[in-house]
Amino acid sequence: MKSVILSLVMIASASALAVDQNSSWSDINASSATDVKAPQVAFAAGEATSFITVFDVCVTGETLQTTKAFDVYKQVRTGGAHGQVDLVVVGQEILATPISYVGYVPKNGKNSEPVAMTFTYPLVNNIDVYSPKLNNKTSEQNLLFTKVYVIPACK
């Protein structure tokens, strides 16, 4: 009986590891044997910024939008005029941001005058998939494979 149980555990473990670059992204993301390092897109979520993985984003025209509703926040000051500011969820919305946007970077170092630059979110991403960490202190992750992900058109 013990050998039957051990065999079943080994088969289940082997099937959990059975993802590779030919597997679907849904299988890869669902696998406990992978740690996906997917890029994120910054969205204004009310009075805060939310960073959403590319797997929850689609393309509509010149805009990226989330495929489902995410929390939207409002800043609320507590403790008087100079008190702490907390973020409070005030609802959920489909978030949107332009594919290309203007950002500001220092011209000649950290404390220099900022310069405007145009940035563009890539619609095609090479995403690294790693083995999961066994513990947070000493375990290193091994790169299992890299797979292309194309942000889909919105439905």
Following CA atoms 119, 58, 49, 41 in sequence, which dihedral angle do they give, to the nearest 10 degrees? -50
Q: Can you give the pLDDT at residue 1? A: 54
- Has residue 104 been placed in a domain? no
* Distance from the Cα of residue 66 to its chain's centroid: 12
Tens-digit pLDDT profile for residues 111-120: 778 899 999 9
Q: Going by C-beta distance under 8 Å and a sequence separation of 6 or more, which residues neighbour residue 37?
A: 127, 128, 129, 130
Q: Which regions in the chain score pLDDT beneath 50?
A: 4-16
In a domain, 144, yes or no: yes
Would residue 43 count as lying in a domain? no
Answer whether 36's CB lies under 8 Å from 143's CB: no
pLDDT of residue 111: 75
Domain that includes residue 152, residue range: 19-37+122-155
- Residue 135: predicted pLDDT: 67
pLDDT of residue 143: 94
Examine residue 67 and state whether it is found in any structural domain, yes or no: no
86 assigned to some structural domain: no
Give the sheet arrangement for strand 63-66, strand by strand.
57-60, 63-66, 96-98
Number of domains in the chain: 1
Give a yes or no: residue 23 inside a domain.
yes
Query: Tokens in use for 15?
Result: 């099937």
- Residue 61 within any structural domain of the chain: no
The answer to whether residue 8 is domain-embedded is: no
